[in-house]
């Protein structure tokens, strides 16, 4: 079997048929779709069972709810394909995806195909052929090369042993991606073809990061990436500065400040410790003012509120004066 497509499913009945239908519509037929129902309660599991009865290439595994990482790991353990990739249950792929990728695989000597572009709706195509890449660190520093799990197809005998971290629920894809980059002697290729239709909506996991565990996951994922860049990929201080700029660590810390008042004293302490460690790894303070405020827990929100109140009072004074 050529391809295994792994799809974690949790309460996405509204979009699920479009996703599965997009795989069934592939012009290349040598594939299996492994759908891991992660304890859905909205009928998603029943929809999957219906598809499995109609098409023996679709396999459904029902599990108790344990998160996307556990669901993907279940799929990885069950796959049979020579190559594998991921499609999220609220997204879809264009009909020629597997046919085009199979042709590239047969013509090129590489172990992983990195697709630079993800599309939101069908549109123009970029017909550049895949090109090899030797600079793995460059993949992390390329602004077009995101950490999305769905943007690459991988050879099972080289990458099938990798697993998603069970202890990180948000940005687990970054940890998995960095581990893939660090696989020794693996040959990468990059192609700028938009095969994937990505949907972002209010219920997307990527849209939420309000809880303490979410903020801790975001920081810990970046710490893991920086540590592996240093230890395995030989990143220099300049590389780390570029990475900090690329992944918007300013926004990561800024976002933490936005929800800072919600956290307990112990949670603030733990976040400060991890933020301090991340900044220590980077070897410099990428955004001194914001980094200092986050690390030391200053009440930035109160400052903003006070500033806005003073501006409003000043404007009223101008109007009445």
Digit-coded pLDDT (tens) for 246-256: 766 656 766 67
Where does a domain end: 167, 197, 227? Answer: 197
Residue 235 shares a structural domain with residue 255: yes
Residue 11 shares a structural domain with residue 146: yes
Residue 8 shares a structural domain with residue 68: yes
CA distance 83 to 157: 8
Where does a domain end: 146, 175, 197? Answer: 197
Domain assignment present for 70: yes
What's the confidence (pLDDT) of residue 108? 76
Q: How confident is the model at residue 133 (pLDDT cuts 50, 70, 90)?
A: low
Residues 6+ apart with CB under 8 A from 39: 10, 62, 63, 64, 65, 66
CB 37 within 8 A of CB 3: no
Q: How confident is the model at residue 195 (pLDDT cuts 50, 70, 90)?
A: confident
The token duo for 254 is 């800024």
Residue 142 shares a structural domain with residue 12: yes
Domain assignment present for 41: yes
- Of 60-69, 141-150, 298-307, which gets the smallest average pLDDT? 298-307
Q: How confident is the model at residue 128 (pLDDT cuts 50, 70, 90)?
A: very low
In the predicted model, is pLDDT for residue 216 greater than 50?
yes
CA distance 52 to 285: 53
Domain that holds residue 296: 209-304
What's the confidence (pLDDT) of residue 159? 97
Domain assignment present for 311: no
In the predicted model, is pLDDT for residue 262 greater than 50?
yes
CA distance 110 to 294: 43
Residue 25 shares a structural domain with residue 170: yes
In the predicted model, is pLDDT for residue 187 greater than 60?
yes
Residue 105 shares a structural domain with residue 225: no
Residue whose tokens read 């195909």: 113
Q: How far apart are the first and last CA of the chain?
A: 80
Domain assignment present for 241: yes
Residue 13 shares a structural domain with residue 149: yes
In the predicted model, is pLDDT for residue 14 greater than 90?
yes
CB 150 within 8 A of CB 118: yes
Domain assignment present for 27: yes
Domain assignment present for 74: yes
Domain assignment present for 171: yes
The CATH number linked to 109 is 3.90.550.10
Burial of 170 (0-12, 13-18, 19+ CB in 10 A): buried
What's the confidence (pLDDT) of residue 301? 53
Number of domains observed in the structure of the chain:
2
DSSP string, 131-170: EEE--HHHHHH-TT----GGGEEEEHHHHTT----TT--S
Q: How confident is the model at residue 127 (pLDDT cuts 50, 70, 90)?
A: very low
Where does a domain end: 155, 171, 197? Answer: 197
Residues 6+ apart with CB under 8 A from 249: 222, 278, 282, 286, 287
Domain assignment present for 204: no
In the predicted model, is pLDDT for residue 122 greater than 80?
no
How is the chain split among helix, strand and coil, in percent rounded to 5?
50, 15, 35
Q: What is the mean pLDDT of residues 148-168?
A: 92
């Amino acid at each position: 079997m050529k391809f295994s497509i792994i799809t974690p499913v949790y309460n996405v009945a509204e979009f699920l048929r479009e996703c599965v239908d997009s795989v069934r519509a592939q012009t290349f037929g040598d594939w299996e779709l492994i759908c891991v129902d992660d304890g859905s309660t909205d009928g998603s599991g029943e929809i999957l069972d219906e598809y499995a009865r109609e098409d023996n290439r679709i396999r459904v595994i029902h599990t108790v709810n344990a998160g996307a990482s556990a669901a993907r790991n279940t799929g990885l353990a069950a796959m049979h394909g020579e190559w594998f990739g991921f499609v999220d249950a609220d997204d879809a792929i264009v009909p020629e995806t597997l046919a085009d990728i199979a042709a590239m695989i047969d013509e090129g000597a590489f172990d992983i195909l990195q697709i630079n572009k993800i599309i939101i709706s069908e549109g123009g195509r970029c017909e550049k052929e895949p090109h090899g890449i030797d600079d793995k660190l460059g993949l992390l520093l390329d602004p077009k090369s995101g950490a999305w799990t769905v943007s690459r197809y991988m050879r099972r005998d080289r990458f099938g042993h990798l697993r998603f971290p069970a202890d990180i629920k948000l940005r687990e894809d970054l940890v998995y991606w960095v581990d893939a980059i660090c696989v020794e002697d693996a040959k990468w290729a990059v192609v700028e073809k938009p095969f994937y239709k990505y949907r972002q909506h209010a219920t997307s996991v990527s849209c939420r990061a309000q809880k303490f565990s979410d903020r801790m996951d975001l920081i810990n994922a970046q710490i893991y990436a920086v540590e592996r860049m240093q230890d395995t990929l030989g990143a220099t201080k300049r590389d780390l500065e570029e990475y900090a700029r690329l992944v918007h660590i300013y926004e990561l810390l800024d976002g933490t400040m936005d929800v800072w008042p919600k956290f307990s004293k112990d949670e603030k302490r733990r976040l400060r410790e991890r933020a301090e460690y991340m900044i220590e790894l980077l070897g410099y303070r990428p955004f001194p003012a914001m980094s200092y405020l986050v690390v030391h827990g200053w009440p930035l929100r109160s400052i903003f509120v006070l500033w806005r109140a003073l501006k409003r009072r000043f404007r009223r004074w101008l109007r009445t004066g």
